[in-house]
Structure 1
Amino acid sequence: DAASKFIPPEIKDGLICTVVHICNKRLKNVTDHCEKAFLTMKCVHEVNPDVFFIV
């Protein structure tokens, strides 16, 4: 959270949106809410570990 204060909002928002979009495409067939939440966090960390610490 503290590190996110040093990242300009447009970069942070764009980076997070890109990673979330990638993960949503990967997980589009997962229907269970809890499973999707866990897999989304895992995917975000795999796609870009830096975003994991921003969120």
Structure 2
Amino acid sequence: MPNKAGYEGQLVTGDRSSYLIGQTEIPARPLSPALYLVATPIGNLADITLRALE
């Protein structure tokens, strides 16, 4: 995924994953295999976190 100015979302580079929020890159920790329950917002799906989308 290209790194564009102003773009916010998940960046995947090789075997590592990180999030770009504004112009700050935040590394994502790997998740252990498990069942994850994620609450979704009622009314505005844009309020969901990037981690929940992953």
TM-score, structure 2 as length reference: 0.24
Greater fraction of residues in strand: 2
Instruction: Report the TM-score, using the length of structure 1 for normalisation.
Output: 0.24
Q: Greater relative contact order (Cα 8 A, min sep 6): structure 1 or 2?
A: 1
Higher helix share: 1
Looking at CA atoms only, which structure, 1 or 2, has the larger radius of gyration?
2
